[in-house]
Amino acid sequence: MKCENLDVWQNAVDLSVEVYVYFSNSREFGFKDQITRSCLSISSNIAEGMEKDSQKEKVRFINIAKGSAAEFITQTIIGQRATFISSESANGWIKRTKLILSMLTHLQTYLRSKQ
């Protein structure tokens, strides 16, 4: 896969694993399903996009990954307020996801310059 060497993909995978482990024993099944899917979607869309042939398609999938990251941040805030997620974990996840968003923006800029 072309994505495996990207720091942004590796960070997104690490975050997703952490979120899955955090919720492994949770009984909040609907919330757990939604937040783990949105987090998983970040790295999955990066991977899918980087395998596309055209730069335009790569940029599109990076944009989808950014949307998933924003969705994950929103769900993390909701989970913290609903006391499903500790403040420490929520704050860490939000900080890491904002870094991932920044990295995705830089990747998009790079890919657009290659068009």
User: Residue 89's pLDDT is what?
Assistant: 98
Residues 57-95, buried b or exposed e (16+ Cβ, 10 A)? ebbbbbebbbebbebbbebbeebbeeebbeeebbeebbe
In angstroms, what is the C-alpha Rg of the chain? 14
Can you list the domains of the chain with their CATH numbers?
A: 3-113 (1.20.1440.60)
What is the mean pLDDT for each group of 10 consecutive residues in the chain (115 residues)?
Answer: 91 98 96 98 97 95 98 98 98 98 97 88
Q: Tell me how far apart the alpha carbons of residues 69 and 5 are, in angstroms, rounded to a whole number.
A: 20
Determine the pLDDT at residue 103. Answer: 98
